[in-house]
A and B are shown apart, each in its own frame.
Chain A
């Protein structure tokens, strides 16, 4: 008894602790209730309040707090007052916990939203990426053409760029005195070899290698002695196509070229064949296609004709078949050719095709 006498009355202690908490909690009271006053706090302030609140919790609910001590002493309180005392301690503790948690939760929410806001970014800033290069428009178009013809059952062929007169002219039925052979039009090396003036040379190599039937296209560089100007270059790229089989006719030529042009310029593209002359084909035809820009009504691109001239074609001349070791009585075939550069020029509306070989990155960057 003497011992308990010497100590303060536990009830008084609990009440005092509760009072003390109320006093210290006063500054946090504004964070509780319906109109919690957290909004005005900056993130830093809110975080420091949160820390202070955590200290408060330790002081009043921690291991060494008065309330916890009182709780421990419940067992020692006289039996008749024990239940009431226990209730008192617990209710006071609950009050404190609830007050702190209310304030804490408000502060936490505020801190989280403030932090989210602080860490928000400008999503319109440029993404981080290495600089991507660009393939040359001639490569882009060439690859497309190759893929189309592979899908149509053609093999892609190539051969040398410097050729003998036999492959560049004779085998193509170009007569010995044809102007194309003149050194005004064709480049010659000091050894008298020609820079191929058309990729038709590959037709002969391919027929010699593969025999008939054969289907192939030959995309590649060709050379003609033109001074560079907005519509000419002394070097350009050409695609030459060849299909030799039994029973091949001009209808197949038309069908193939029309299919190609539809795939390149859209399904509404119309192709037109006009009689023409090439030494290596007979009958020969030039082909035009309906202007992809104006649909045939007439515009700048088609020079108001509604048609765009693209290339030459025809049934392979029997002399050419023979030169390549193919019997023209058994086999017939068609061939066609056109400039890739010209197609690039049309597709991208280039006003000066010299740009194709300047390699200006501001130009190259425009093609994807």
Chain B
């Protein structure tokens, strides 16, 4: 809000310069965004906290300045008016909905001459960013900025039946407001009506039909107190934000209704001529209760550590208009002024004293240390995961948590979310901000695909990204959705980089699989298993399900299907994985157990067999294990080969078998005999051939 320094000085008598005020007001909680020199005056841009509507005026700021300087606010003075006649003879006021309008006052000024405002008034308004309109409108606006009380002037001649009725609108009613927009009204909106129709949106804006015009001679000045919630609701619903609504919705001063109106009428008579009615019609059926707060002065030091002398406390309270009486030495009874709607409890009074005594006088010390800190155990494990992926060349991505609904059935979700009725499992936003991004993501994959596309479009060819974050789906139990922590990896382009000495090699399935295995091994959660499985977004034949050692499925891994790739315009193979970290983090950490080092040497034998292409390494290894050959310590893959010189439906698999005894060194013939037996059973089981 813009505050004129000269105007403020008239009201507060301040001796501080604009720049000093900037500093002092900031330190009592009224931050000054800027100070601008304007035509012999300075304009301060005050950032008023939302709980301080009392500061949305020059008088309001002057009160704070007066406390800062231990001074007093000088009430604005104007000439007493020449009054004649009774308002009740000319008009009437009826409040039908006192819940939304506890107080309404109307007074008339007859025989005014509408003209442009005098230069001083126009200049004053222009300085604080207000456009002058005509003398009557400008005076109401001036008083608003002086006192914080919004006022409205009606052309009395245009009020049907010479009546004011404050009521809720009836559905279907319309009102053309001063900005020329026709507004549809509903039964929740409070309006000011005449005998027939609405003439103003209560507390927000007047109607065009009853606007002051050059022909206007008699004006009705409205000064009222409207329910803050009602004004806020109506303004939001209609998308309006006016000087009046801004003040009413935060809370005006119901005891300032008549003072502000009187000030306005005096200025009208002085500037626009005319004769005011002797009285004002003030409808205020049930006066607002005043607040009494029990205040223990000791709480100031308890909460802030400031030791403030009681006399200082009292002078701050007095300066702020807070009436205080000592009920006992330890407890004071405080009654805040009607304009301070924010002061409701003891802590509020503590803040009032602390901010005027000075936050800068509060000591700075660490609280006594009596607890030990701890990381989230989950976070520490995820840190290991992040570090490993980083070393493996993955950059960390962070995407928004919302995605478009077009992705609904594009991706295989983690097993936890993969229910029959996936359409109804999504969490949907009622009010998205980015067009179409209505779903709380049930998968991280669309995010990393987007990030990949962004990078490929910017000339990057090789890219590895990972992201960890929440994914969401409806929950079968409880009120809240199911939130799971997920990990997604994506890789494309060259598998090794920054190394001229190596021949470039393209990323493939096994690169991503290896990275995933390495990252999860760093978390010590046991080995993962992979089985061939179909997934919506993955290419058939190059996709796998990821399982924990106990067979629990936790995600998918594979090459992106052509259909998805095409949609993203990827022209190179892309590999992507996603898994449920929550499930993984819940798994037991593997205990590390020492195994004695071998005392006797091992003997290794390589064997290459030709088997059907559908036979997996896992099957072969399992078979070898099942044979339980004496002293056989397991087998390892050396390599596979398919292509020239081999039938199309077969591939050659080379395995290295290790034999070792814990009792003695094995003899060659023994090894040979056992190896022979193993080979025979493999050949038999898989109708394989030695290669």
Contacts and interface: CB of A to CB of B under 8 A. Distances in A.
Contact of A255 (B27, B367, B395, B463): B367
Nearest to B470: A161
A250 B303 contact: yes
B483 A160 contact: yes
Interface stretch (B37-45, B95-103, B117-125, B373-381): B373-381
Given A156-B376, A189-B429, A276-B29, A361 B393 contact: no
Interface string A147-181: 00111111111101111100000000000010100
Contacts of A360: 454-455, 458
B181 interface: no
Contact of B428 (A161, A189, A252, A282): A189
A1 to B, nearest CB: 68
Interface in B607-649: none
Nearest to B250: A179
Interface stretch (A21-29, A39-47, A52-60, A129-137): A129-137
A245 B371 CA distance: 11
A301 interface: no
B479 A223 contact: no
A192 B427 CA distance: 11
A188 B366 contact: no
Interface in B338-396: 342, 345, 347-348, 350-351, 354-355, 359-360, 362-367, 369-376, 379, 383, 386, 389-396
B286 interface: no
A30 B345 CA distance: 109
B364 A332 contact: no
Contacts of B396: 133-136, 139, 364
B401 interface: yes
Contacts of A129: 498-499
Nearest to B229: A177
Interface stretch (A63-71, A99-107, A351-359): A351-359
A139 B498 contact: no
B428 A190 contact: yes
Nearest to A272: B360
A144 B397 CA distance: 18
Contacts of B52: 277
Nearest to B303: A315
A34 interface: no
Contacts of B364: 251, 254-255, 258, 271
B497 interface: yes
A236 to B, nearest CB: 10
Contact of A128 (B232, B432, B480, B499): B499
Contact of B430 (A154, A156, A183): A183
A226 interface: yes
B292 to A, nearest CB: 18
B375 A156 contact: yes
A220 to B, nearest CB: 9
A77 interface: no
A188 B355 contact: no
B26 interface: yes
Contacts of B470: 161, 221
Contacts of A284: 351
Interface string B293-320: 0000000011111100000000000000
Contacts of A187: 429-433
A355 B228 CA distance: 40
A195 to B, nearest CB: 8
A188 B402 CA distance: 12
Contacts of B586: none
A131 B500 CA distance: 12
Nearest to A332: B303
A234 B402 CA distance: 10
B347 A283 contact: yes
A348 B217 CA distance: 64
Contact of B375 (A139, A150, A164, A213): A150
Contacts of B342: 277
A192 B394 CA distance: 38
Given A252-B365, A315-B303, A332-B302, A274 B350 contact: no
A259 interface: yes
Contact of B373 (A150, A188, A332): A150
A234 B395 contact: no
A193 B392 CA distance: 39
A213 B27 CA distance: 31
Nearest to A143: B383
A169 to B, nearest CB: 15
Nearest to B50: A277
Contacts of B366: 152, 252, 255-256, 259
Nearest to B367: A252
B355 A275 contact: yes
B363 A361 contact: no
A364 B395 contact: yes
A228 B398 CA distance: 15
A82 to B, nearest CB: 62
Given A139-B386, A149-B373, A131 B401 contact: no
A225 interface: yes
Nearest to B396: A136
A282 B346 CA distance: 9
B528 interface: no
A365 B455 CA distance: 12
A337 interface: no
A275 B373 contact: no
B399 interface: yes
Interface in B463-491: 463-466, 469-470, 472, 479-481, 483
A188 B429 CA distance: 6
Contacts of B51: 277
B365 A153 contact: no
Given A251-B365, A274-B29, A285 B359 contact: yes
Contacts of A250: 303-306, 354, 359, 362
B495 to A, nearest CB: 10
A225 B431 contact: yes
Contacts of B369: 152-153
A364 B383 CA distance: 18
A225 B433 CA distance: 6
Contacts of A113: none
Nearest to A234: B433
Given A153-B372, A162-B480, A283-B355, A357 B302 contact: no
B367 A248 contact: yes
Nearest to A364: B395
Interface string B268-312: 000000000000000000000000000000000111111000000
Given A133-B390, A156-B375, A251-B362, 16 more contacts: A133-B392, A136-B397, A149-B373, A155-B371, A157-B376, A191-B427, A221-B470, A234-B434, A250-B306, A277-B49, A283-B303, A315-B347, A358-B451, A360-B454, A361-B455, A362-B458
5 cross-chain pairs, A with B, having the tightest CB-CB distances, nearest first: A275-B29, A283-B351, A150-B373, A359-B451, A277-B49
30 contacts: A128-B501, A129-B499, A133-B391, A133-B392, A135-B386, A153-B370, A156-B376, A158-B376, A177-B233, A189-B427, A189-B429, A193-B479, A215-B367, A221-B401, A225-B433, A227-B434, A234-B434, A245-B367, A250-B354, A255-B367, A258-B364, A274-B27, A275-B359, A277-B51, A283-B350, A358-B454, A362-B458, A364-B395, A364-B396, A365-B395
Interface of A: 126, 128-136, 138-139, 143, 146, 149-158, 160-164, 177, 179, 182-184, 187-193, 195, 213, 215, 221, 223, 225-228, 233-235, 243, 245, 247-252, 254-256, 258-259, 271-277, 282-286, 315, 317-318, 332, 356-362, 364-365
